[in-house]
Structure 1
Amino acid sequence: MEKNRISTKFLVVTALIAAVYVVMTLAIAPLSFGFIQMRISEVLVLLAFIDRRYVPGLILGCFIANLFSPFGMMDVFFGTACTVAALWGITHSKTLFGASLWPVFCNAFIGVELYLLGECPLIFGMVTVAIGEFLAVSCVGYALFRQIMKNPGLMARLKFA
């Protein structure tokens, strides 16, 4: 049997993570988009710190959620690219807190998108998006995942076999 075959479990988990990300984003949609935003769904990106095989589901979830953005296709591509960059950093981080900072820095560049669309001043957009990411990922996400990582049984379930 091929070692590189994609398993049914991987496909199901990828679809589930993508769906949860989309639902969490759209459930608070006014707060998920714009120059003052806080995507609670971004907490999920820390799953990639536990196992990088969560990355495809997180990227797909971000892509689908951004299809509903009031900023159109620019947000689909630019916002998803920022998430891809953050996920790369998360999967290469040595500490959970270090991993939690990648979305803050990478998604701050969404302020450039907001500026180009004429929505807000560049620095203001970058700072407000970064603050929202910091609150969601580096505060809430970090605290949550710190507790998760202390639970060996839960960690075993979260890692792909």
Structure 2
Amino acid sequence: MNTKYLAKAGLIAALYVILVALEIPFGTLAFGPVQVRVAEALALLPLVESAAIPGLFIGCFVANFILTFFAPFGLIDVIGGSLVTLIAAYLTSKMPNKILGTLPPVILNGLIVGIWVSYFTNFPYHLTALSIAAGELIAVGLFGNIALYAFNRIKK
């Protein structure tokens, strides 16, 4: 790893944390059983930037740690959510295009994060998983394409 790679990863991590922090006033819209986490727009970056994989993982870890003061999900969200983000980022980096690149974060967050969000909110799992996946689809599919476009413009 070189300094440029680490700087990119750090910048992506910081941006993720900042975006999550900006969402705190919106409460359950960003963190409950029905959620659209705008920071997840960065989830498509592994398609074009390998430093986004550790960047998203570290950013999610730090953001989820901060959120333990605001959300009831605790350590499972810090560790579990960060690992889901790491796996999704890695799988996204292996996808041939942004349409397929959208699938790992949408599916993994819906199915896995939905488990503990459902448990802690007493909301039915299938509805929680679907709502998290739908929110993730909005964040990654819509906002992610905007972020990817901006990243590619800046990179040029």
TM range (shorter): 0.7 to 0.9
Asked whether 1:112 is paired with 2:99, we answer no
TM alignment of 1:8-157, pairs within 5 A: 8-29=3-24, 30=27, 31-69=29-67, 70=71, 71-108=73-110, 109-142=112-145, 144-145=147-148, 147-148=149-150, 154=153, 157=155
TM-score w.r.t. the length of structure 2 is: 0.85
Q: Which runs of 5+ in 1 are unaligned?
A: 1-5
Q: Decide which structure has the larger Cα Rg and report it.
A: 1
SS class of match (1:28): helix
Instruction: Choose between structure 1 and 2 for higher RCO, CA contacts under 8 A separated by at least 6 residues.
Output: 2
How far apart are 1:98 and its partner, in Å?
A: 0.5
Change (3 A) 1:144 1:22: closer
Which amino acid letter does the alignment assign opposite residue 128 of structure 2? G
How far apart are 1:33 and its partner, in Å?
A: 1.2
Q: Does the CA-based 8 Å contact 1:97-1:142 persist in structure 2? A: no
How far apart are 1:118 and its partner, in Å?
A: 4.6
Identity of aligned residues (%): 31
Cα distance in structure 2, aligned partners of 1:116 and 1:65:
21
Supply the RMSD in Å over aligned alpha carbons.
Answer: 1.9
How far apart are 1:26 and its partner, in Å?
A: 1.3
Post-superposition Cα deviations, 1:50-87, rounded to whole Å, max 9, x if no partner, equal: 02222111100000001123111110011112112211
Q: Does the CA-based 8 Å contact 1:45-1:87 persist in structure 2? A: yes
Structure 1 stretch displaced more, 8-17 or 93-102: 8-17
Q: Which runs of 5+ in 2 are unaligned?
A: none
Q: Does the CA-based 8 Å contact 1:104-1:134 persist in structure 2? A: yes
SS class of match (2:33): coil
TM-score w.r.t. the length of structure 1 is: 0.83
Change (3 A) 1:68 1:119: farther
